[in-house]
Structure 1
Amino acid sequence: MSILEKKSAVTVELDALTQGSIPFTTLEEAFGPESLGIIVVKGLPERFQSLRLRLLSYSSYLANLPEQSLKQLESPDSHYLVGWSLGKEKLKDGAYDTFKGSYYVNCAPSFSQGDTQTSLATRYPTFPEYTAPNVWPSEDTLPGFRESFEELCTLIIDVAVLVARACDRYAEKNIDGYKPGYLEHVVNSSVSTKARLLHYFPPPSADNNKSADEDDWCATHVDHGCLTGLTSAMFIDEDASVPTLLRGLSELNDRSHVPKDLTELAQSPDPQAGLYIHSRSGAVTKVAIPRDCLAFQTGEALEIITKGKFKAVPHFVRGAKATKHTGRVARNTLAVFTQPNLWEMIDEKRSFAEFAREIVERNH
C-alpha cells in the first residue's frame, strides 16, 4: 500500500450549515487544493441512526434473496444502473466485479412524481441510465425496503443542499462570474440524483485470501457528480446474524412484518478495510465516518463548476478480508450521488448528459 498519511476529515455541525455560519477557511480545508475533499456532518436528526441501521440491514437481506428473485430486480435496459447489479462493472484489471452487489435507485423525490420519469425518457431516449424507471422488490419479497430507502435518501439530499449552499457562499466570493446559488439549485432541483446501496460479500476463507492490490475491491476513481453523501459502513457477521427473511421477519410498531435490524459488529475485523483517499501530496489516508454522521465528498462536476477551487477526490474501498478468527463478514453502505440535471451545463461546452455519458462508457 502507498504511504499512509494520518489526517482527519473536517467535521462540521448540521446547525452551523443550517445557519450559514461555516467559515470559508473550513470549506477550503475540506474541499480545497490541499484537502482530502471530504467533509463530515454531525448533529443529524435523531431518526438518521435508525434509518441507517435499517437500510444497511436490508442490504444483506437483499443480497441473500434467491437468485431468481434478484434476476427480476435487474434492469438491463438501464445498463444495470437501476435496480440490482452484480458482475456488470469492470475493475481496473478488466475483470468484472463480483466482489460486491449494488442496488441503484434514481432517488430524487420528484423523479417518480407525475410524469417526470416518462418525460425524461422521452427527452433523452438514449440515456436510460438516468431515465429508466426504478425497480423495486414487492412488499411480499422485501417488505418495507422502498419506504426505508426513500426516507434515508431524502434526508441525505436535504443535508447535501445545505453543504451546497455553503459552497455557493464561498464560490460567489471567490470565483469570477459564478452564478449565485447555482450548486444549491443543482442539488435541490435535480432529478438525476442516484443512490447506490452496496453489499460487499463476505470474502473467501482466510486460507484462500490472495495477495491483492490495495484497491481491488473498488478501484481508485473519482465520482462524476457534485457531492456524494456517504453513510459509515456497517459490518455484519452473516453467520451470527443470518440475513434470511424466514428468520428475520418480526412485528414492528404495529406495522406489517418487516425484516428485523441485523446485529452490527462494533468494528471491522480487518483494520485495513474501509474508505481510502489519495491526498494531494500523493499519500493515502483512511477516512473514518462515525455511525451518527454523514460524509460528503467532492466529484468531478463540482470541480468543473467551481473552476478547480474545490477538487474531486480520488478514492477507493478495501473490503474486510477473512481471518481464521472471524465469521462471514459482509460490508454494507450507502452512497447518494447528487448530480446536475442532464440538461444543466457544467462548463461552456458540455451538458451533464454529455459529461456523464463519457464516464458511463468508460466504466461499463
Structure 2
Amino acid sequence: MGSVASEDDASTAVSVSLSELKNDTVSLETLERAFGPASLGIIIVRDLPPGYPELRHKLLSYSSYLANLPEDTLASVEKPETSYSVGWSCGKETLANGRYDTLKGSYYAQPVHDAELERKARELYPKCSEMTSPNVWPSEETLPGFEQLFENLCHIIMDTAALVARSCDRYGVAKLEDYQPGTLENVVRTSVSTKARLLHYFPPPPLRPEDERPDSAMATDDDWCATHTDLGALTGLTSQMFVDEEAHPPFAKPDESGKLPPLPELHSHPDPKTGLWIKDRSGRTTQIHIPRDCLAFQTGQALELITRGKFKAVPHFVRGTTADKGGKIARNTLAVFTQPNLWEMVDDRRDFATLAQAILGGTV
C-alpha cells in the first residue's frame, strides 16, 4: 500500500491494482477519494509488470551516472534554444527567491513518437521549441543503453497512466454533462507534448551557521523542489531512490554486458522527512511514500480543467535535508508528465498551448 505520514495523523493514500484498472473495476467513489476536492490528489498503482522494479533500479542508477559526467559532456546534450526543456538542465531554472536552482539536475525527453503529430505541432507552434524540439541523447559510449532504458520505463508508466485515465473518463461520463468518452485516455496515449523528466537531486552542500533552522520549520521546507502544481493531466512517478554517492561513487565502467551496473540503493534516508510532500486542500502537508514496486499518479492543472474542477490539481514539493543529516546522499526519480497536444482544448476557450503560455510564460 502507499502509506503517508502527515503533520496531524497517519493515513493511507488510495491504492489500486493494475488488474483493477485493466478490468475497469475501480469504483467512482475510489476515484473521488483519490482525486476529488477532499483528496490528496494522488493514487498508488500496485501489481505492476514483473520487470518493472529492475528497470526502475537500473534507470534511476543511471541518473547518478549521468549527473556526474564531465561538464563538457553534459554541455553537449543541453539545448538552450528549448529553455533547457530538452536534454540536460542544471542551474538554469530560477527559484522564487531569484536564485538559480543548482540542487538538482534534470534530463528531459518526450517519450511519445508520432512523426505526423510532431510535424503538426512544429507547424502550428513554431515558437514552442520547449515541446516540439527532437530529443537529444548521450552517446552509447558515454551512457550505454540509457536511451533504451529511459524509453522502456516511460512506456510502462504511460501504459499504466492510460488505464488510470480510462477510469477518470468513466468518472467524467458518469458525472459531467456532455463529457466525451476517451478524452483523457486519448491524451495519455497519443500526445506528443508528454514530457518525461529524470531527476537527480544532488547531495546537500555543507551546512553553514547561517543556514541552521529549527526543526519545526523543516516539515514545510521545499528547498529541493519548491511548492507547485503540475501543468499537465496525470503525472506518473516512480518511488524515490537514495544513493550514498560517497560509499558508491557513480563513476563505474560498463560491465561484461556493456551496461553500467545498478548502484546500491539505501533502504531509506537518514532524515525521515526527506522526499515528496503534498499540500492537501486544507493546507496540511502530507508526506507520500511510493513503494519501490509501485507507481503513483498525481493530478495536474489540465486534468482539473478537463474535469471541470471535479478532480483537483495537487500542490506538492520535495523536502531536502542538510549535510549533517544527509551526508553525500543523492535522490533520483523519474516523472512522466502526460500533457495534451498543444492544439487540444482543456476548457471551452483555451487549448493546451494557451494554458502553458499563461502558466509558464514565454511565447507559444
Q: Is 1:62 paired with 2:99? A: no
TM-score of the superposed pair, with normalisation by structure 2? 0.93
Q: What is the distance in 2 between the residues matched to 1:17 and 1:79?
A: 37
Q: 1:95 aligns with which of 96, 99, 103?
A: 99
Letter in 2 for 1:154: H
Alignment-derived partner of residue 229 in structure 1: 236
For 2:46 and 2:28, the matched residues in 1 are separated by 18
Query: Percent identity at matched positions?
Result: 56
Q: Name the amino acid aligned to 1:339.
A: Q
Query: Against the structure 1 CA distance between its residues 5 and 177, is the aligned structure 2 distance closer, same or farther, given a 3 Å change threshold?
Result: farther
Find the aligned partners of 2:192 and 2:66 in 1 and give their Cα distance. 25
Mean Cα deviation higher: 291-300 or 92-101 = 92-101
What do residues 5-48 of structure 1 show as CA deviations (whole Å, max 9, x unaligned)? 53221000000000000011100100001000000000000111
For the aligned residue pairs, the C-alpha RMSD in angstroms reads 1.6
Q: Is 1:330 the equivalent of 2:330?
A: yes
Is the 1:320–1:331 contact (alpha carbons within 8 Å) kept by the matching residues of 2?
Answer: no
Task: Summarize the Cα distance change of 1:138–1:117 in structure 2 as closer, same or farther, 3 Å threshold.
Answer: farther
Whether contact under 8 Å (1:320, 1:329) holds in the other structure is: no
Deviation at 1:117, TM superposition (A): 3.5
Q: Name the SS of the counterpart of 2:12 in structure 1.
A: coil
Pairing 1:212-291 to 2, within 5 Å after superposition: 214-244=221-251, 247-252=252-257, 257-291=258-292
The one-letter amino acid of 2:59's match is L
Structure 2 gaps, min length 5: 1-5
1:116–1:201 CA distance, 2 compared to 1 (3 A): same
Name the SS of the counterpart of 1:90 in structure 2: coil
What is the TM-score when the length of structure 1 is the normalising length? 0.93
Match in the other structure for 1:7: 11
Tell me, yes or no, if the aligned pair for 1:49 and 1:291 is still in contact at 8 Å: yes
What is the match of residue 77 of structure 1? 81
Given residue 338 of structure 2, which amino acid in structure 1 is its aligned partner? Answer: T
Distance 2:72 2:178 in 1: 53
Name the SS of the counterpart of 1:335 in structure 2.
strand
On the 8 A contact 1:238/1:327 being kept in 2, the answer is no
User: Which residues of structure 1 form unaligned runs of 5+?
Assistant: none
In structure 2, how many angstroms separate the alpha carbons of the residues matched to 1:360 and 1:281? 26
Show CA shifts across 1:159-206 (max 9, x none). 000000000001100011111111111111111100000000011235
How far does the alpha carbon of each residue in 1:284-323 deviate from its partner, in whole angstroms, 9 at most, with x for none? 1001000000000000000000011000000000124322
2:31 aligned residue (10, 14, 27)? 27
Partner SS state of residue 259, structure 1: coil
Q: Which residue of 1 aligns with 2:202?
A: 201
| Secondary structure of residue in 1 paired with 2:11 | coil
Q: Which residue is equivalent to 2:41? A: 37
SS at match of 2:361: helix
Shift of 1:248: 3.5
| CA distance, structure 1, for counterparts of residue 169 and residue 116 of structure 2 | 31
Q: C-alpha separation between the residues in 1 aligned to 2:341 and 2:58?
A: 29
CA distance in 2: counterparts of 1:5 and 1:315, whole angstroms: 18
The 2-side partners of 1:170 and 1:286 are apart by 27
Supply the distance in 2 between the matched residues of 1:207 and 1:269 (Cα, whole angstroms). 20
Aligned positions, number: 351
Aligned residue for 2:323, secondary structure, equals: coil
Tell me if structure 1 keeps the 8 A contact 2:222–2:320. Answer: no
Alpha-carbon distance in structure 2 between the residues aligned to 1:229 and 1:51:
15
